A = this chain, B = another copy of it.
Amino acid sequence: MPAFVARLFFAAGTLAWATAQSAPEYTADGQLKLPSDYREWVFLSSGLGMTYQQGMERSPSFTNVFVNPAAHRSFVSNGKWPDKTMLVLEVRASSSKGSINKGGSYQSGVVAIEGEVKDSSKFPGSGWAFFGFGQSTTGKMFPRSEDCYACHAEHGAVDNTFVQFYPTLRHIAETKGTFKNGR
C-alpha cells in the first residue's frame, strides 16, 4: 500500500476513534477532568433513592451511571473492565407533578457528579480511584480512607464496580463467568 494511502486510512481511523474513545485526563494538581461528552457515553442504569443504610432517603435522588464507549465495548467482549475505564455517576433531583405528570418521579437538575476510573499507572494496587466533582468540571480524588474504596472492593460484582445493579452488564458478566455474587 502506498504510504499516502496508509496515512489517509490512519487519519480516518483516528477520527472515528477520537469520537468513541476517551481516557481519563487530569489537571496539573491531580484532579480528574469531567469529560464534556459523558452524557453521550453508554448509559448503564439509573436508580432512585438507592441507599446502603436502613431507611428510605427523605428526598430521593436519581443516580444515572455512564461509561466510556471503549470500555463498554471491551466489557461486552470479555466481561472485564480494561485500563482507562471511566464511570460517571450523575446525581439528579427528582420531581413530580409537573406538566401533565400526576404521579411518580422524573429527573430534573444535577445535584452532584462523581467519577470512578481505572488507571493502573496512576493508581497502583487495584488501579481504581474515586473522584467527587460536586457541580464542578474538575473532581478531587476521595482519600483512600473513604468508605467507597473498601465497599467497592468487597461488594462490587465485577472488579470494584457494582455490576449487580447494571442489568445489561450483569447478564454479560454472568455469561462470561466474571460475575461474583454481590454480597
Contacts and interface: CB of A to CB of B under 8 A. Distances in A.
Contacts of A5: 4-5, 8
Contact of A13 (B12, B53, B155): B12
A124 interface: no
A151 to B, nearest CB: 8
A106 interface: yes
A177 interface: no
A101 B9 contact: no
Main DSSP-derived SS at the A contact region? mixed
- Count this chain's copies in the assembly: 2
Contacts of A102: 51-55
Contact of A101 (B46, B50, B62): B50
Range, interface on chain A: 35 or more
26 contacts: A16-B16, A16-B19, A39-B43, A39-B168, A40-B42, A43-B43, A46-B62, A47-B104, A48-B105, A50-B104, A50-B105, A50-B106, A51-B101, A51-B102, A52-B101, A53-B102, A55-B103, A56-B104, A57-B103, A57-B104, A60-B104, A98-B164, A99-B157, A99-B162, A99-B164, A100-B183
